Structure 1
């Protein structure tokens, strides 16, 4: 059964594997996409040409949709965005920056744009900037947490009430029960990180996987 997220990304299940810096290369992204969810390559720790190599390998490993997560505070952002478009990646998740900077340009190139936010204020700004969906990430999440320290179960209904575009919940979601809770509160899908860090295909260190 399709919902807003499965329709938007043309995937089977409304689950997104988070783009987690050095933990999510092409192996994890392609394995996730092949299983019917959306895999993301984490561009944050990659030099531009390394990212290109991961995209090319991912394309060979899956014929399903996958995307790239781009933290916008990185210095070679321009080069990274152009590589994504040159390599014909159709889904980009942006974070840690102003969504206005790249959203229009990416959408002109036929890319679906999702922005990660930690508060209602930033969710509204992202919607105004024209993104296709929002990831509302509670303070339980890894990565760039919001200053407000708003937890996932508080953030999701708050954002849902004020936005019209599809909403993805993130932060502390690692089970089917947690996914159900997020969706009851108004999320159309979930983004999961730590659960995938511990997987065989993740490029995280074995000791880190065991700790998780």
Structure 2
């Protein structure tokens, strides 16, 4: 597997990730960067985009989803609850939502999915090997906002308790939608919001 980190445009600088399997099939997690940036990497490494996995549907995370899915014939995953066709949640539909605990395979790669509503109704986190893609559910030492369309602070607390109990190695990299990376162990041990949610269970 080859892994690439891309960053979306200002002012949000959304983290986006491109993984290419040993067989050359690729997946984009949160297509926030410019289309040509993905195309350039895929061309340079002989990759074919097969899957697009959205952690949620906010516009700063899905900006290239439509063009990439049409250009490459890639299957687009996003929860139906986050496909509202609004300014904040611009996707009008996706090829598939996610089943709780399902495993999405791509050659030697596999993505395990857990629902984590709170930032949006359709938020998920995705585990691939030692990479945990968390979107805007958890940031380094913080969490995503719950005061936007689809947000719910009660559901976020439930999701944080669930997050802390996920079967994820402590050394797994937590890759959020914005900001710096950390590890699962670090967030479980030191993230104030996760610890607070556990205290209030």
Q: Bin the TM-score by the shorter chain.
A: 0.3 to 0.5
Please identify which structure carries the higher strand content: 2
TM-score by length of 2: 0.39
TM-score by length of 1: 0.38
Whose relative contact order is higher, 1 or 2, with alpha carbons under 8 Å and at least 6 apart? 1
Please identify which structure carries the higher helix content: 1
